[in-house]
């Protein structure tokens, strides 16, 4: 296997493969993606995969997510069917007192061009007839949706490979050295050299950064999800908490726990998730659950993406974030611009690693 590349991406998940694909569109130099297992064996393969914008805060971060969501229809035309659906997103509330907060959200987001409607009980039930009639209201935005994460990453990989990107999987990086202006990446299957190195290690970013003496403060945050049997199509929207996939399965869950890399599912969270699901959509009571699973989010210390050049290290880049599914088309585009043009079409200074000091 070729050992010299212009660019190496460490991590083939949704962020790393998204970068590799977008690079391969413009860039004819050699690109290699290294993955310690097979892409999707970590966070990217254990997610509900909402493409979610409308109640992320603060507004500048929601705006960043909006630009990425706007790229999805075009992306699926380029790489193939990834089952992207712009369903619109509903975030229900069951307490009338939440309406004021919802209205404040809608007001401040109108200024940046994200249209959020605050729906009455009747409007929610008209949109989503199976929602609990006791719902007080919901925020709604037409920009939200969801995607099939397996299709997405598989299509990123296939399109990238067609454009000449090489993948080396089941190949763990064990050491990174800087010598003669190049990076030498030592892996289980030998050493590779490159000019540009992109760290897209997701939940393992901290460990990969350590190999270069760079602190990438990413922690782990577990989420647990329940999967139902395929049901007839009955949910119209991506509801924050549950969604129905193309094949009829309903995915339910929105939980957060600090559990390191432990991917167990636990009865207490499964039960709480079941309670959330029946509170939102009581008709799910009789639906059968076939599986529970858990995934580990890559959560930067302050909750926001870490993107761009690594200060003090020439030709070293980092992309580490949660919401990788929503953000991958934009991150892929911006990192490509940064490498090829030296600047990005949307400023990413506030996402720089340098903010952690």
Q: Which is nearer to another protein, 35 or 214 (CB)?
A: 35
> Which parts of 116-155 interact with another protein (CB under 8 A)?
139, 150, 154
Structure tokens of 140? 């709604």
Nearer to another protein, 268 or 341 (CB): 268
Establish if 261 lies at the interface with another protein (CB under 8 A): no
208-247: contacts with another protein (CB under 8 A):
226, 228-229, 240-241
C-alpha to C-alpha distance for 195 and 197, rounded to whole angstroms: 7
202 interacts with another protein by CB under 8 A: no
Joined together, the tokens standing for residue 205 give 């970013």
Residues 283-322 that bind another protein (CB under 8 A): 284-293
Q: What is the DSSP letter of 230?
A: P
By CB under 8 A, tell whether 58 contacts another protein: yes
Q: x/- string (CB under 8 A) for another protein, residues 265-284? A: x-xxxxxxxxxxxxx----x
Q: Given candidates 15, 102, 152, 325, which one binds another protein under the rule CB under 8 A?
A: 102
Q: H or E element: which one contains 70?
A: helix 59-79
Rounded to whole angstroms, the Cα distance separating 223 from 230 reads 22
Other beta carbons less than 10 A from residue 129's beta carbon = 12
Name which of 202 and 209 has its Cβ closer to another protein. Answer: 202
State the Cα–Cα distance between residues 339 and 336, nearest whole angstrom: 5
Of 243, 355, 267, give the one whose Cα is nearest residue 309. 355
Encoded one letter per residue, x for contact with another protein by CB under 8 A and - for no contact, window 170-199 reads: x-----------------------------
CB 50 within 8 A of CB 13: no
Instruction: Please identify, among the stretches 37-45, 123-131, 189-197, 323-331, the one whose residues bind another protein according to the rule CB under 8 A.
Output: 37-45
Contacts of 44 by beta carbon, 8 Å cutoff, 6+ apart? 13, 14, 15, 149, 153, 202, 324, 325
State the residues that interact with another protein by CB under 8 A: 38, 40-41, 45, 55, 57-59, 91, 93-94, 98, 101-102, 104-105, 108-109, 139, 150, 154, 157, 167, 169-170, 226, 228-229, 240-241, 253-257, 265, 267-279, 284-293
């Amino acid at each position: 296997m070729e050992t010299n590349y212009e660019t190496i991406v460490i991590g083939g998940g949704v962020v790393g493969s998204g970068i590799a694909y977008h690079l391969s569109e413009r860039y004819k130099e050699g690109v290699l993606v290294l993955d310690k297992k097979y892409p999707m064996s970590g966070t990217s393969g254990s997610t509900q995969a909402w493409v979610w914008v409308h109640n992320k805060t603060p507004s500048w971060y929601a705006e960043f997510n909006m630009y990425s969501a706007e790229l999805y229809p075009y992306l699926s035309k380029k790489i193939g069917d990834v089952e992207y659906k712009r369903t619109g997103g509903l975030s229900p509330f069951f307490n009338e007192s939440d309406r004021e907060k919802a209205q404040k959200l809608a007001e401040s987001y109108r200024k940046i061009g994200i249209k959020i409607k605050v729906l009455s009980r009747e409007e929610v039930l008209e949109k989503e007839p199976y929602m609990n009639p006791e719902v007080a209201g919901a925020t709604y935005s037409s920009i939200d949706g969801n995607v099939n994460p397996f299709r997405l990453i598989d299509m990123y990989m296939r399109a990238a490979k067609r454009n000449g990107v090489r993948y080396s999987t089941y190949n763990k990086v064990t050491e990174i050295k800087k010598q003669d202006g190049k990076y030498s990446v030592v892996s289980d299957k030998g050493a590779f050299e490159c000019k540009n190195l992109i760290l897209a290690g997701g939940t393992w970013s901290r460990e990969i950064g350590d190999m270069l003496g760079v602190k990438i403060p990413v922690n782990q945050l577990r989420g647990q999800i329940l999967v139902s049997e395929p049901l007839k199509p009955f949910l119209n929207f991506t509801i924050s908490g549950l969604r129905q996939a193309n094949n009829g399965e309903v995915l339910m869950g929105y939980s957060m726990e600090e559990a390191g890399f432990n991917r167990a599912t636990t009865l207490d969270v499964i039960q709480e998730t079941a309670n959330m699901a029946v509170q939102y959509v009581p008709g799910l009571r009789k639906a059968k659950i076939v599986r529970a699973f858990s995934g580990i989010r890559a959560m930067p210390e302050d909750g926001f993406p870490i993107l761009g050049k690594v200060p003090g290290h020439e030709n070293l880049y980092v992309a580490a974030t949660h919401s990788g599914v929503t953000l991958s088309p934009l991150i892929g585009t911006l990192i490509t611009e940064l490498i090829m043009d030296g600047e990005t079409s949307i400023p990413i200074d506030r996402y720089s690693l340098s903010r952690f000091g």
